[in-house]
Amino acid sequence: MNATISSGPAKAPWHLWAVGILSLCWNAFGAYDYVMSVSLNANYLASYPPEMAAIIKSFPIWATSAWALGVWGSLVGSALLVLRSRHAATAFLISLIGALVTFVYDFRLKLPPALDTTTNKVVPLVIVILVVAQWYYAKRMSDAGVLR
Q: What is the pLDDT along the chain (148 residues), one digit of tens a residue?
A: 555 555 566 789 999 999 999 999 999 999 999 999 999 999 999 999 989 999 999 999 999 999 999 999 999 999 999 999 999 999 999 999 999 999 999 999 988 888 889 998 999 999 999 999 999 999 999 999 999 9
Residue 4 lies in a domain: no
Q: What is the DSSP letter of 41?
A: -
29 found inside a domain: yes
Q: Tell me the C-alpha distance between 76 and 134, whole Å.
A: 12
Distance CA 115, CA 47 (A): 12
Query: What pLDDT, on a 0 to 100 scale, did the predictor assign at position 73?
Result: 98
Is 5 a member of any domain? no
Range of the domain at 134: 14-143
Q: What is the pTM of this model?
A: 0.89
Note whether residue 6 is domain-resident.
no
Domain count, the chain: 1
Cα–Cα distance between 142 and 148 in angstroms, integer? 7
Residue 71, H or E segment: helix 61-82
Residue type, 133: A
Residue 96 belongs to a domain: yes
CA terminus-to-terminus distance, the chain: 28
